[in-house]
Amino acid sequence: MWSTIFTAASTVMGSRGGGQQSSGITAADAKAAVNFSQYKMQTKAPEPAGKVGAVSAAVNYSQLLSAWDDYLNNDYLEMSKRIIQ
């Protein structure tokens, strides 16, 4: 596979260099010469989306801050316990 790709690429690049006239093939011919169908990934159609259940009430900002502070306090407490021991 790679030799075919590199051969096609070098032929195309060689035909564009330095104003030389070359008997090389065109980019379209090089692309047509390589068959990539065996390397294409087979994918399935996505599953249809289902219904989403009810969402609980949103939290307000003070509740978020309170929960975050509780998390940080607990985290710092655990770190300090590890440092002291």
Report the amino acid identity of residue 77.
Answer: L
The stretches in the chain having pLDDT less than 50 are none
pTM of the predicted structure, to 2 decimals: 0.24
Specify the residue for token string 């306090």. 73
> What confidence score (pLDDT) does residue 18 get?
52
Rounded CA separation 84/77 (Å): 11
> What confidence score (pLDDT) does residue 66 get?
84
Rounded CA separation 72/68 (Å): 6
Rounded CA separation 47/63 (Å): 37
| Nearest Cα to Cα of residue 15 among 25, 7, 5 | 25
Rounded CA separation 27/37 (Å): 18
